[in-house]
Chain A
Amino acid sequence: MAEPLIEARKVEKFYGQPGANRIQVIAPLDLCVYPGEILALLGPSGSGKSTLLRILTGLAQASAGEVLWHGQPVSGPVENVSIVFQSFALFPWLTVLENVEAPLKACGVEAAERIKRATQMLDTVGLDGFENAYPKELSGGMKQRVGFARALVVEPEILFMDEPFSALDVLTAENLRNELLDLWEDQKMPTQTIFIVTHNIDEAVLLADRVVVLGKNPARIRTDFHVDLPRPRDHKNPRFGELVDYVYTVLTQPEAQPQVPSATLAKPHYPMLPHARPGGIAGLLEILADRNGREDIHLLADLLSFEVDDMLPIVEAAAMLGFVTVSEGEVEMTAAGHEFLDADILRKKELFRAAALERVPLLKKILSALETKTDRTLPDEFFEDLLDEHFSEDETKLQLETAINWGRYAELFDHDSRGQRFFIPQEAAAGTAQ
């Protein structure tokens, strides 16, 4: 891992003398901030988040322990960091432009250069045309944009943000958060790292690469985990919900030590079914068996004059069922794959059924939903509703189509396309009920 930009070693904050009267605000804690990450520091109000931020920036002194900046101990405000404040902290008697210029003036930048850089930064945050306005003429969201411009104009190594969206109304905050992320993703943000203090769990999981949760009385690190969700993130994504629930549990139960829900176990409840037919899967296995059980995917596609993109769903489906493994572009048959290939048709179906029930949550879900009904039938709409939280409308249709294909092959359930219902045929029901 890269060298940390800031490292807190056994940093603590307390008031009063050691002994009964000492008020411990922050228990000794270690924290590293690395280049390239967005780190969210979460905690209940009064937990010392802001104090920790001020200690890391050198604005406040730790009572004990040390803060290292590029390995050097910090005394006094750290050079080349910025803070975006909850209350904006703009100077009301300076115009927007003068506010943004102020930090440059403090670094001794010449007037012409100052104006150029400040104007550019104001453009970046979407405030061109407001250079000569005074902060009190602006709405809250625009004020915080000025706050961002002022913070970014010095191109800080770390951009610290102290609850930057808390003073804004919900919609403005949401909007500004997204714009911030866009700038970050497009690398238009002249900063290496963002350190954001917040009490908003959603905000932390939405923005951060890494979330650190502080406990209260005294502040200590309860958990420190990476958010393994790709951007842009969707609140409706189940994994998102899981992480939010996890943080919520940590925050509301000071004694509990819940585990970070592991990403492999807790992939979205319905991983996308690759659109492959069971016949295609069997075909792939046959070809692989011919080539000693392993082959490069690209070669395989060439061999069959397929596009790789057409080939992939079949490979993924086989992998999902556990018949092959894929690593570094090579497909390799597993023992289960050999067994499946060598079996007769009835045994094939049995194996497929077992694999599907174990490894394909959607099929299992459909089956158990049907089994709860006495007439063992449910309309398509039921499953469409179930899936459209996770997939687009078209994709939902495709997913169900694939599920029907697989379910029929495994003789788990059938589908009546005219009546638009899923159902379990009587003999199949008798078969699986055992």
Chain B
Amino acid sequence: MTIQALARSIVGERTWPLLLDAAVFIVVMGVACAVLMVGHVWLGPVNDHAEISRSPSALPLYALYSLVRMTVAYVLSMAFAITYGYIAAYNRRVRAVMLAVLDILQSIPVLSFLPGVMLAMVALFPTRQLGVEIGSVILIFTGQVWNMAFSFYASLRSIPKELREASKIYRFGWLQRFLQLELPYATIGLVWNSMVSVAGGWFFLMACEMFVLGKRDFRLPGLGSYLQSAASAGDTGAILWGLGAMITVIILIDQLVWRPAIAWSEKFKFEQVEATAAPESWVLNLLRKSPLLTRVQQKTLGPLDDYMCTKAGRHSAEEGAVTGGAVGKTVLAVLIAAALAAAAGLGVVEAFHTLAGINWGEVLVTVESAGATFLRVLISLAIASLWTIPAGVAIGLSPRLARIAQPLAQIAASVPATALFPVVLLALIKLGGGLNVGSILLMLLGTQWYILFNVIAGATAIPSEFLEVAEIFRFSRLDRWRKVILPGIFPYLITGLVTASGGAWNASIIAEYFHFQGKVLSTFGLGAEISSATDDGNFAVLLLSTIVMATLVVSVNRMLWRPLYHLAETRYKLES
């Protein structure tokens, strides 16, 4: 014990721990109340044609409903991502298959899942609101989960060999290994991907809360449906109110959840020396000072973790070693494989059955529309690159500019593009542009940020020596870009473009087909094809266009992005 420690405890007292504890307590109670309320609605009878109020006073409750959906979907995503990533990382036999499946699932647009999921859930719970709610949650889940699973898998695979060996030689049980090695190592990746995922969730919130499926019109009370019905009615005031509410919620979540999470995850950075400028969060700083939380942690989590690691975790480790007997494992594996194969077989048969009703004309239209959307994706990427590369480099190379621009860009990026669509459409209609141009703009709104942030990161990472070399040898502006800046940001740019292109494809479904002012605005494209098929309940076309889109995305990934990525990794990687 030193004077420093004493001083720290005195400083701690000045922050009124009692107030802090009270705040923590209130938050916990509030969450409990909200859960009760939501549960009441969810378990109530089906409310098929729920009227969505456009009054601003409904917004807090709607925001709460949307938040709960997002949270449940997020928790599910996390659980799934960890399980899936774990199995893929540790089972060499199924790894290749699991990764390919992940790759394909990732490229299937969220809304293509919609009809199947919804009809199944409504069939499961015909008399309860629960069915529709679960369906909506599952849709949000499908938009969030894949990159988190990839991230966890990649983290597990990249755990340094010596750390693994240390956990082996000191005979960690599986639980201790999970808690002290795997989960901590994956934390930073999971936190960042969680942010991206939840942003994606906001993006599709409108589509996931209110949709027409054949003759049935599903509406769930929430922020997304509020915005959607405001747009349908062309109610500008309501659109702005809804937008404001959504931005407020997003900023609040950013401050209350993501900033603290990032600051906290700094602890898990795998680095040898301490970073000079670590992210900070005022919320985290406050929470760390709360005596109540500290005590709760000491009294519950500590001993629990202890018990699990020393007793429960070890037993399982030993049992695992015993059942590691080849026979049991093989039988299990064969059973699972057989079940999966049967399900896949059924699916394929069913798919063929559905596709049988399609004539060649429809196939041709689908292919043409795919071409149109592909073109739009490319144009939107090109436009995005044109402005984000110079802007990103300027911001990345100038700390002064970065201090001002970075937070602004972050707020701008955090507003889901879908929420802005109505505003943009209003403007477009005033200016007389069609959705053909408008949809490109909408894709751009959703995807440019991925490129911008990656370019900023890349420009920041260019070693200053390189820039100094360019300075000393008086490189021309062209040479400076060609020989220093572009190669420097290349790997980051590719990462940004890959993410953006995926996002653009996904966005096309919403951007090309939009309910606005009581009518449907649409333009020729694969996204519109998918959306209208969903609306009409035309499963054959939906399936066909989904397959086309997934195939296109996967093959573009394999043939274009992966080689470029490889090039970036090998030739343009700056070894530190």
Contacts and interface: CB of A to CB of B under 8 A. Distances in A.
Contact of A93 (B160, B165, B170, B184): B184
B400 to A, nearest CB: 29
Interface string A52-96: 001001010000000000000000110101110111010111100
A76 B173 CA distance: 14
Interface string A96-129: 0000001101111111000000000000000000
Contacts of B269: 92
B353 to A, nearest CB: 47
B168 interface: yes
B166 interface: yes
Interface in B147-181: 160, 162-163, 165-166, 168-173, 176, 180-181
> Which of the listed residues B160, B170, B172 has the most CB atoms from chain A within 10 Å of its own CB?
B170
A93 B171 contact: no
A386 to B, nearest CB: 48
Contact of A54 (B165, B180, B272, B321): B165
Contacts of B163: 89, 91
Given A89-B160, A136-B272, A136-B274, A81 B169 contact: yes
B481 interface: no
Interface centre among B171, B270, B302, B321, by most chain A C-beta atoms within 10 angstroms, is: B171
A91 B184 contact: yes
A79 B171 contact: yes
A154 interface: yes
A86 B271 contact: no
Contacts of A109: 310
A185 to B, nearest CB: 26
Contact-residue bracket for chain B: 20 to 34
B309 interface: yes
Contacts of A3: none
Contacts of B267: 92-93, 134
Interface residues of A, number: 31
Most chain B CB within a 10 A radius of its CB, from A89, A106, A110, A154: A106
Interface in B255-311: 267-274, 302-303, 306, 309-311
B311 A103 contact: no
A59 B169 contact: yes
B314 interface: yes
Contacts of A57: 169
A81 B311 CA distance: 22
Nearest to A111: B306
B168 A59 contact: yes
Contacts of A37: none
A403 to B, nearest CB: 56
Given A102-B180, A105-B306, A105-B310, A92 B270 contact: yes
A148 to B, nearest CB: 13
A39 B180 CA distance: 32
B180 A91 contact: yes
A385 interface: no
Interface string A286-318: 000000000000000000000000000000000
Nearest to B177: A106
A82 B162 contact: no
Contacts of B181: 91
Contacts of B184: 91, 93
B166 A89 contact: yes
Contact of A77 (B169, B309, B310): B169
A406 to B, nearest CB: 59
A154 B273 contact: no
Nearest to A134: B267
Nearest to A107: B171
A389 interface: no
> Interface centre among A103, A107, A150, by most B CB within 10 Å?
A103
Contacts of A103: 170-171
B176 A105 contact: yes
A118 to B, nearest CB: 13
A91 B172 CA distance: 13
B339 to A, nearest CB: 31
Given A87-B162, A93-B184, A137-B274, A106 B172 contact: yes
B168 A85 contact: no
Contacts of B271: 92, 136
B171 A86 contact: no
Contacts of A134: 267
Interface in A197-216: none
Nearest to A80: B171
Interface in B211-246: none
Contacts of B165: 54, 59, 83, 85, 89
A185 B180 CA distance: 35
Given A91-B181, A91-B184, A102 B170 contact: yes
A119 to B, nearest CB: 14
Contacts of B321: 76
B168 A77 contact: yes
A392 B169 CA distance: 47
A76 B271 CA distance: 30
A106 B311 CA distance: 9
Nearest to A82: B169
B162 A106 contact: no
A58 to B, nearest CB: 8
B8 to A, nearest CB: 12
B42 to A, nearest CB: 38
Contact of B170 (A54, A94, A110, A154): A154
A235 B33 CA distance: 75
B403 to A, nearest CB: 26
A392 B274 CA distance: 47
A205 B567 CA distance: 47
A108 B270 CA distance: 27
B274 A86 contact: no
A111 B176 CA distance: 14
Contacts of A83: 165-166, 169
8 contacts: A54-B165, A59-B165, A86-B162, A89-B162, A93-B187, A93-B267, A94-B180, A108-B311
Closest 6 CB pairs between A and B?
A103-B170, A89-B162, A108-B310, A93-B184, A89-B166, A85-B162
Interface of B: 160, 162-163, 165-166, 168-173, 176, 180-181, 184, 187, 267-274, 302-303, 306, 309-311, 314, 321
Interface of A: 54, 57, 59, 76-77, 79, 81-83, 85-87, 89, 91-94, 102-103, 105-111, 134, 136-137, 150, 154
Given A77-B168, A87-B162, 4 more contacts: A54-B165, A77-B171, A89-B163, A108-B311
